[in-house]
Amino acid sequence: MAGNYVIHDVAIFDGEQLLDGRHTVVIDAGRIADILPAGAVPASLLEEARSSGRLVAGEGRTLLPGLIDLHVHLTWSAGADPVATLALETPEQTLLRSVGHGLAQRDAGITTVRDLGSPHDLAIRLSEAVAAGWVPGPRIIASGRTLIMTGGHDPFWGLMVDGPAEALKGVRTQLFAGAQVIKVSATGGVYGRAAGEAVDDVELLPEELAIITQQAHRRGVKVAAHAIGEEGITNCLDAGIDTIEHGHFLTREQAKRMADAGTILVPTLFVYQQVAGADGVPEYASAKARAIVERHREAVAIARDAGVRIGAGSDAGSPGTPHPSLLKEIECLVGAGLPPTEALAAATSIAAEALGLEGEIGRVCAGLAADLILVEGDPTASVAALRHVTHVWQQGRLTVRPM
C-alpha cells in the first residue's frame, strides 16, 4: 500500500531542471506532500520513517518524475515482423503477452505509457485492468483502434472510415469503447503494408480530420496523428490535432505554426533507425526507412529551432524496438541536438502536457501524484544514468526496489 515514504538527501530533476542542492521528498497518501532542503529535515521525521522502514537514503542518486513514453504498442512483440506475430495469436494470447510488456516498461522506470494502436481495443482493456489493480503495470493512456481510411496505414488495428459521417461515427465508437486518446493515420507509413502506401501519401482528408478532432475535443480527449509527409502534416495542423507523431517532412513554416499553437512533436527517432537496419525486418519497410531517416533528424532540428515542444515516444513494440526503448529514444533526442535536460523534459513534464496530465504527473512538485524514480548518478550530465533505476514509486506505492 501507499505509505509515508521519506526520500532523503537526493539531487532532484524536477521535470524541467536540476534543482540546486540536495533535498528530501515526503510522500503521503500517494502524493508528494513536501520537498525540503536536506539539511532542514526534522530529525523526528527521519527517525519515524526509519523505524517504519520507509526511509530511502539518497546515497548519490537523483530523483526524477516517473518517465512517460508517449508512443508504444503493447500488443506488438518488437520482433522483425510484429504484424505476422499478431496473426498467429488469439486475442487472449496477445493480451497476456502485453501484460509482460507493460511490466518491463514499469520496471525500467516508465510509469506512464500512451498506447497508440492495438487490435480489438486490447490496450484499452489492459489500461482498465491496471487501473483496477488486477494486473501490475504502468498507467496506460490507450487509443485502441486507429481511425484510418479504407486501405490506410495500420489496417491490422484500423477502424476504417471514409467521409465525414463515417469519421464522426468512428471517433464516437472509440470514445464509447473507452479510448483516452484518439489516434488517426493522416499519411502512409513505413511498416505494415508491403505495397499500396507511400510515406507521403495523404490518407484521411482535411474534413475527416477536422470532425474527428472536433468531436474528441468536445469530450476532453486529445488526438494524436501519424503524419510523415508535408501535406498530411498541414492537414493535421489545420484540424487542430494535438500531437504530430513522426513528422519527418516537417517544414519551417509548419514548425512555426506548431510552436504558436502549442502542438507537440513526438518524433520517434529510434524506431526508424531500427527499421532501417535491424536484421529480418521486411525489405519494403527497411528501404522506406532508409530513405527518410536522415530527414527525420533535420525535422527535429527544425522543430527545436522554432520552439516546438518535443515529447519522447519510442514506438516500442515495433520491429527491433523492444519494451522498453524509451532510453534509446532519449539518447536519440540528445544525438539530434537536445541538451540532456530538454531530452529528460521530453519524457517527463512535456510528455505529461501532451497527455493533458500536467497537473497530475511529470514533475517533482508538491501536490502531484508520487510517480517517481530514483537513479544512480546524474542524468542531466548523462542520460545513460537512466539505465540504473533503483526505485520506482507509482502513486506513492514503491513497486520496484533494490533486490
Q: Is the pTM of this model over 0.95?
A: yes
The C-alpha cell 509527409 sits at 229
Cα-based distances in Å from 95 to 91, 160, 242: 6, 23, 28
Counting Cα atoms < 13 Å in the Cβ hemisphere of 184 gives 36
Q: Model confidence over 278-296: pLDDT tens digits?
A: 899 999 999 999 999 999 9
∠ at Cα 105 (228, 345), nearest 5°?
A: 60
CATH of domain 67-355: 3.20.20.140
**Residue whose cell numbers read 512517460:** 68
**Residue 2: pLDDT over 70:** no
To the nearest whole number, what is the mean pLDDT of the chain? 97
CATH code for the part of the protein at 6-65+363-400: 2.30.40.10
Q: Tell me if 213 sits within 8 A of 241, measured CB to CB.
A: yes
Confidence of residue 3 (pLDDT cuts 50, 70, 90): low
The rounded percent of the chain whose pLDDT value lies above 90 is 96
Q: State whether residue 188 is helix, strand or coil.
A: coil
**Domain spans, the chain:** 6-65+363-400, 67-355
**pLDDT band at residue 1 under the 50/70/90 scheme:** very low
Where do runs of H (alpha helix) occur along 55-90? 82-88
User: Taking 90 as the threshold, does the pLDDT of residue 93 lie above it?
Assistant: yes
Angle at 288 between CA 294 and CA 208, to 5 degrees: 100
Do the domains 67-355 and 6-65+363-400 match in fold?
no
Give the model's pLDDT for residue 242: 98
pLDDT at 231: 98
pLDDT at 372: 98
